[in-house]
Amino acid sequence: MTALHPRLVSVYDEVTQRNPGESEFHQAVREVFETLSPVVVKHPEYADAQVLQRLCEPERQIIFRVPWVDDAGRVQVNRGFRVEFSSVLGPYKGGLRFHPNVYAGTVKFLGFEQIFKNSLTGMPLGGGKGGSDFDPKGRSDGEVMRFCQSFMTELHRHIGEYTDVPAGDTGVGARELGFLFGQYKRLTNRYESGVLTGKGLTWGGSQVRTEATGFGAVYFVQSMLALSQRDLEGQRVVVSGSGNVAIHAAQKAQELGAVVVACSDSGGYVVDEAGLDIDLLKDIKNVRRGRMSDYARERGLDHISAGSVWDVHCDVAIPCATQNELGEREARALVAGGVSVVAEGANMPCTPDAVRVFRDAGVAFAPGKAANAGGVVTSSLEMQQNASRDSWTFAHTDERLRSTMTEIHDRCLSTADDYDVPGDYVAGANIAGFTRVADAMLAFGVI
Ligand code: GLU
């Protein structure tokens, strides 16, 4: 572990004591703090005003019961969360995650990261996150609808176009957002498009929002490669996961000439040397709600459940599955296989040990706060369209996404230069994200 600046040690200790057992949240805070020493030295006014103490304590946390009735007529009870972390730059903004392992620590780590990610985009967005331990896997559409309606029956009191604007995340896609928006509209008697992003195209959604996180990650990789006069043409790429982010990262990488040779799900992975068949993947995952084992069978390939997808050698790795999926062992396997660029499509998929392995091996590493910001960038573009009752073309929206990802890339590197850590995307992203929030907090006084 990198040592913390003395002014940050007590703040970090307070975070771990105040939030016992929330290891992912501790990890996310530590990762940011480890990069902030040069900021503390250059700007003692931030520590004097207890900016970090304040940022680590969410402005508001809501935990609620979500009762619903399953298809067999049994009453089920889940837990719902919304952690409203920071609204200094705009309304709280961040997705909802439905997954059985969601607990307070998951939502807090995601919400904390979202503050800096959203700030780094340069857009007017605060940070928050929410979700539930509900598992949509294997549930009928009717069960998902009843769960979403119950979830929104409580959540609607806390959100709004100018207050808190949720979106999707793992387990929350177009189907869930439709049920959530429908219930919000019914409860409030308002067609308030700006209250949620990731909406369907016929009811206030934006072009490119579905593709945005995956496309954005690949645009970021393009900028990383361009620094050494390379592009994606002919690069061998591996993505992990096979959800929305992974599929669209693979699609864009292949459109730009790469060969994406592997992807995975929680059951194992598939190596497809010819390059992934994106249409088949979309059909299996989005239409049939099937598994990678179905993909393997239909393509006549092996479905591998031993080891991990990171055993497949590649030039570019884009982890798009979930937090802490890529540890030290996997990082060493990637380095041995010749990887030169790693960009996080998911939130915190690489453990601190893995990041150290990449750094020691001279692998260019982009953290999720920067590389996966395309989703929230396009959410902000969706909010702009909703506010002006306009809708933009695919090409225009995609170009806005691409240029914003390039700006984020350049902002990371120029900030890293300013603070004497050249080439360090992690420090650049954290410092640029943090200083924008901290300056606004100083301007607002103690709130
Ligand atoms: N869940 C996405 C993220 O992790 C998108 C959030 C949003 O669009 O508000 O950034």
For residue 75, give the 3-state DSSP assignment.
strand
Q: CATH assignment of 60-191?
A: 3.40.50.10860
**Residue 256 burial (C-beta neighbours within 10 Å; 0-12, 13-18, 19+):** middle
pLDDT (tens digit per residue) in 62-117? 999 999 999 999 999 999 999 999 999 999 999 999 999 999 999 999 999 999 99
Ligand 1 center–CA 94 separation, angstroms: 5
Would you say the CB of residue 93 lies under 6 angstroms from ligand 1? yes
Q: Do the Cβ atoms of 130 and 82 come closer than 8 Å?
A: yes
Ligand 1, residues 129, 379, 384, 397: which to mutate, most atoms within 8 A of Cβ?
A: 379
List C-alpha distances in Å: 179 to 16, 83, 141, 184, 327: 37, 21, 10, 9, 36
Whether residue 97 has its Cβ less than 6 Å from ligand 1 = no
Contact 245, 372 (CB under 8 A): yes
Domains 60-191 and 212-371 in one fold? yes
How many CA atoms lie less than 13 Å away from 2 in the CB half-sphere?
18
Token pair in block for residue 343: 């960009």
Query: Is there an atom of ligand 1 within 6 Å of 376 CB?
Result: yes
- Digit-coded pLDDT (tens) for 399-415: 999 999 999 999 999 99
Beta bridge partners of 268: 265
Reduced to 3 states (helix: H, G, I; strand: E, B; else coil), residue 155 is: helix
Atom of ligand 1 nearest to the CA of 372: 10
Alpha-carbon span 16 to 426, nearest angstrom:
22
Of the chain, the percentage scoring pLDDT greater than 90 comes to 98
Q: Is CATH 3.40.50.720 the classification given to domain 212-371?
A: yes
**pLDDT tens, 323-381?**
999 999 999 999 999 999 999 999 999 999 999 999 999 999 999 999 999 999 999 99
Ligand 1 atom 8 nearest Cα: 376
| Ligand 1 pocket member 153 (CB < 6 A) | no
Report how far ligand 1's centroid is from the alpha carbon of 322 (Å).
Answer: 14
d(CA 319, CA 322): 8
Q: Hey, where are the domains in the chain?
A: 6-55, 60-191, 212-371
Residues comprising the chain, all counted: 447
Is residue 117 annotated as a catalytic residue, yes or no?
no
Instruction: Give the strands of the sheet with 268-271, arranged side by side.
Output: 303-304, 268-271, 259-265, 236-240, 316-319, 341-343, 364-366
- Of 120, 32, 106, the C-alpha closest to 322 is 106
Q: Tell whether the model's pLDDT for residue 447 goes beyond 90.
A: no
Paired tokens of 381? 């573009």
